[in-house]
Amino acid sequence: MNNLRTPPTKKYLIIHQSADLYGSDITLLNFLKSQANSKDQYTVILPHEGPLSKELKAIGTINLIYSDVIKVKKSLATPLGVISLLRKIKPALNFYRSIDIYSYDVIYTNTLAILDGALIKLFFKKRHVWHVHEIIESPALIRLTFKLLLSLFSDSIIFNSSASSRCFSPFRVLFFPLPKTQIVLNGCPPVIFNQDYSSSIRIDYGVENRMTFSLVGRINHWKGHELLVEAVSLLPSDVLNSTQFLIIGDTVPGDESRLSSLHQKIETLSLSEKFTFTGFIFDKKVAWALTDVAISASTLPEPFGMVIIEAFSAGIPVISASHGGPLEIIDDNKNGIFFTPGCAQSLANAITSTFRNKSATKDMAKLARVAHIENFTDIQYTKKIKEAIDE
């Protein structure tokens, strides 16, 4: 008699804050792609349709639900914000009852900025895994509040770096059990293209015959776009004349004035011909085929640095601010170069070094791809995430 039995199917409810394709959106997509042939059932709650929902639908085995989630906003720190939050709790609980929340084995919240998973843990006593992709250095009260929420309303916490773990490590509260914690560094699939493809794409975007530096990611107040503009204005003429700087990404809807201000700063410094704005590029092969060196110029510590490992996966070295998650990814002067956070001159020096020492830059490119293969593949990542969710 055969005693081998098929493991029982599990039901997972994943709660996510956006339908874009940046950062934590990409890590979620990579994980769910790996589960396409799983016997387990995955349901994802998104606030609305968007690029992420389109990709999840293409997998073919993911159930999608569109519903408002309780996002953490600055207004929650005000009396009116607290009242607004309290008013959202009852409708949220009714919604989760309507989707038969008790039928799910695991609730997985894929960002610190959503409180729904904590409510489900509190009111429905379901296993809750909270995946932290953030760092909040100040205000201290907000940071402490999140540490308390993680400590009280998680069964397991996944941190995307040692940096985020240090920021939000849980602590024991009275008789409540201490959540299990794990650090799982992000991963991504390789990006592969040949020189002919890269040359063709660069002609299409008008950046051929120049060394290209790309800042890839959301245009916001801390990703360092203004710092990059300042650094470019400090470059020696031989470097400036033979380089092009690409801004690959968009602002959050409603924050278009930030993009206008960035353009104005570039025009004021007479650098308009040195910058190319591509908007968001869905195809990563296109984005990285346009790039010789990637730049991560964040003025606040990156919780991880997804763009860095994506660049590595394409064999592209990275210039990065030396704080946060990138310290766990980059081996300085081997697969990338660090510069002093917030210092335009230090960034300009790093750009100049990669331009003038092209042989060393090519060596860094080779080691960047090796680092990806050894430490940051999507296969490694998805296996560790599945294990962490199920423990």
pLDDT in tens, 237-257: 999 999 999 999 999 888 999
The predicted structure's pLDDT at residue 244: 98
Contact 39, 12 (CB under 8 A): no
**DSSP symbol at 264:** H
Asked if residue 290 is part of any domain, the answer here is yes
Asked if residue 2 is part of any domain, the answer here is no
CA-closest candidate to residue 247, choices 230, 231, 228, 261: 228
Quick one: 136 and 229 in the same domain?
no
Quick one: 229 and 161 in the same domain?
no
- CA–CA separation, 322 vs 339, rounded Å? 6
Quick one: 230 and 359 in the same domain?
yes
Asked if residue 5 is part of any domain, the answer here is no
Handedness of CA 164, 24, 42, 185 (dihedral sign): negative
Asked if residue 4 is part of any domain, the answer here is no
What single letter denotes the amino acid at residue 161?
Answer: S
* Structural domain total, the chain: 2
Contact 170, 181 (CB under 8 A): yes
- CA–CA separation, 142 vs 146, rounded Å? 6
pLDDT tens column, 276-317: 999 999 999 999 999 999 999 999 999 999 999 999 999 999
Asked if residue 130 is part of any domain, the answer here is yes
* Confidence grade of residue 1 (pLDDT, cut at 50, 70, 90): very low
Report strand pairing: 211-216 vs 243-248.
Answer: parallel
CATH number (domain holding residue 343)? 3.40.50.2000
Quick one: 176 and 303 in the same domain?
no
Enclosing H/E stretch for 387: helix 378-390
Quick one: 383 and 370 in the same domain?
no
What single letter denotes the amino acid at residue 98?
Answer: S
The half-sphere exposure of 368 on its side-chain side, counting CA atoms within 13 A, is: 29
- CA–CA separation, 68 vs 56, rounded Å? 18
pLDDT tens column, 47-59: 999 999 999 999 9
Q: What is the DSSP string of 174-205?
A: TTSPPPEEEE----B------HHHHHHHHHHH
Res 369 pLDDT > 50:
yes
Quick one: 43 and 181 in the same domain?
yes
What single letter denotes the amino acid at residue 128?
Answer: H
Quick one: 386 and 369 in the same domain?
no
Contact 113, 134 (CB under 8 A): yes
Asked if residue 1 is part of any domain, the answer here is no
42-74 core/surface letters (b: 16 or more CB in 10 A; e: else): bbbbbbeeebbbebbeeeeebeeeebebbebee
The predicted structure's pLDDT at residue 379: 96
CA torsion 254→255→261→262, rounded to 10°?
-130
Quick one: 107 and 176 in the same domain?
yes
CA-closest candidate to residue 299, choices 277, 323, 328, 317: 323
Quick one: 173 and 276 in the same domain?
no
Res 152 pLDDT > 90:
yes
Asked if residue 107 is part of any domain, the answer here is yes
Q: Read off the pLDDT of each residue in 42-46 and give the average, rounded to a whole number.
A: 98
Q: Which domain holds residue 290?
A: 195-375
Res 76 pLDDT > 70:
no
* Contacts with 333 (C-beta within 8 Å, 6 or more apart), sequence order: 364
**DSSP symbol at 254:** T
* Confidence grade of residue 333 (pLDDT, cut at 50, 70, 90): very high
pLDDT tens column, 166-218: 999 998 888 888 999 999 999 999 999 999 999 999 999 999 999 999 999 99
Tokens encoding 371: 């680092």
- CA–CA separation, 52 vs 269, rounded Å? 37
Quick one: 41 and 160 in the same domain?
yes
pLDDT tens column, 339-367: 999 999 999 999 999 999 999 999 999 99
Q: Read off the pLDDT of each residue in 145-167 and give the average, rounded to a whole number.
A: 95
The mean pLDDT of the chain is 94
The predicted structure's pLDDT at residue 72: 81
Quick one: 24 and 160 in the same domain?
yes
Asked if residue 58 is part of any domain, the answer here is yes
Tokens encoding 192: 């592969």
- CA–CA separation, 24 vs 120, rounded Å? 21
Quick one: 204 and 174 in the same domain?
no
pLDDT greater at residue 162 or residue 81? 162
